[in-house]
Amino acid sequence: MSDVTALLGTDHPIVCAPMAGVAGGRLAHAVSAAGGFGMIGARGSSSPEWIAEQAALAGAGGAPFGIGLMAWVPQLQEQLDAVTALAGLSRPKLVSISFGDLVEPVGRVHEVGMLAACQVGNAADLEQAIEARADIIVARGGEGGGHGRDEVATDEMLAMALAATERPVLAAGGIATGDDVARALAAGAAGVWCGTPFLTCVEADNTPAARAAITTATATRYARAHDVAQDLAWPREFGGRAVATPFVERWAGDEDAMTAEAKAEHAAGRERGDTDYTPLYAGTGVTHLTAETDAASVVRALVDRI
C-alpha cells in the first residue's frame, strides 16, 4: 500500500477528481466502491443543501470520499461551513482546495481534522500548497481537463513537486490508461488524480448526449471561451481544457473580443442541448474514450499495469 492508499483508506492509488457538473455523490460512491477514491465536485453556485445531499450519497455504507472546492469563488466560506459541518457517514475524508488562495481554507479544513489536497499548476502554486500544509499535493499539468493552468506539463510538474516535498504527490493531467498510471507511479507519484477517464461513466451527472459527444471527440483546446460566453468570473489565469468544438476553436485566444452575438449563439446552443456549445471539459486523454462505461470498469483499467 502506498502512503496515499493508507491515508485515504482505499485499495488503489486512484482518485477520481472532483468535477463540477459531472462528479456528484453517485459517481464518487461508485468509484470508492470499486476500490478507488471518489470525489464530489462542487460548483461555485452549489448550495449547502446540495453538498449535504451529495455527501450522503457518496458516503452511503461507509465508503470513503472527498469533496473539491474552488478557492476563488465568493461562496467559498459558506461552502466550507457546509463541508466542515458534515458528520457521520457523510463526513468527507479529504477536501480539495484549488485555484486561488490556499492557506486560510486549508487551515479551516485542518481545524476539523479533515485532510486537505491542493492542485498545483506552477511553482508559485506549489510553494503556496506547501505553506498551507496540504496533506496531499496534486501536480496538475496542462494536459488536464477542466479548469487549471496550462503552464507546466504533467511530468515536469510531478518532478517539481517531488523535489519540493516529502508529502504524497499525485500526478494529474492526461493520465488515461493503465500504462499512464504505471508510468506516473514509476516516476515517484504516490497515486493519480484522474478526471477525464471517468467522463463517460453512467454514474456521472453529465447527460447521455454529453457522454456520447465525448466518445467521438478527437481533440481538446485550452481556452476561456466557455467562461467568457457565460460571463463566468473565473480568474484569467485559470482557463479550461475542453473538447475542441468549432465555437471553442473560433474564440480560443480571442475571448476578449467575443461579441454579444457570439454569447447569444452559445446560450441558444446550450439551451437546445447542442453539444457543440455544451462546455465539454476534458483532458488530452479524451481520445481514449470510445464508449459509455462505468466507474468499476474504469478503475479496473487504470490499475491494470500496477
Task: Name the residues that contact ligand FMN, by CB under 6 A.
Answer: 17-20, 22, 41, 68, 70, 96, 98, 119, 140, 143-146, 148, 172-175, 194-196, 281-283, 285
* Smallest distance from ligand FMN to CB 26, Å: 15
* C-beta closer to ligand FMN: residue 44 or 61: 44
* Smallest distance from ligand FMN to CB 45, Å: 11
* Smallest distance from ligand FMN to CB 104, Å: 17
* C-beta closer to ligand FMN: residue 247 or 281: 281
* C-beta closer to ligand FMN: residue 37 or 281: 281
* C-beta closer to ligand FMN: residue 20 or 223: 20
Could you tell me the CA-to-CA distances from 210 to 54, 168, 231, 274 in Å, in that order?
Answer: 21, 34, 22, 9
Could you tell me the CA-to-CA distances from 280 to 152, 226, 255 in Å, in that order?
Answer: 22, 9, 17
* C-beta closer to ligand FMN: residue 41 or 92: 41
Handedness of CA 108, 233, 46, 293 (dihedral sign): negative
* Smallest distance from ligand FMN to CB 134, Å: 13
Which three cell numbers mark 248?
471553442
- Distance, CA of 248 to CA of 277 (rounded, Å): 8
What is the number of H-type helices and E-type strands within the chain?
A: 13, 11
- List, in sequence order, every beta strand (DSSP E) within 121-167: 136-140, 146-148
Q: Are 96 and 114 in contact (CB under 8 A)?
A: no
* C-beta closer to ligand FMN: residue 120 or 228: 120
* Smallest distance from ligand FMN to CB 261, Å: 27
* Smallest distance from ligand FMN to CB 257, Å: 26
Amino acid at 81: D
Amino acid at 278: T
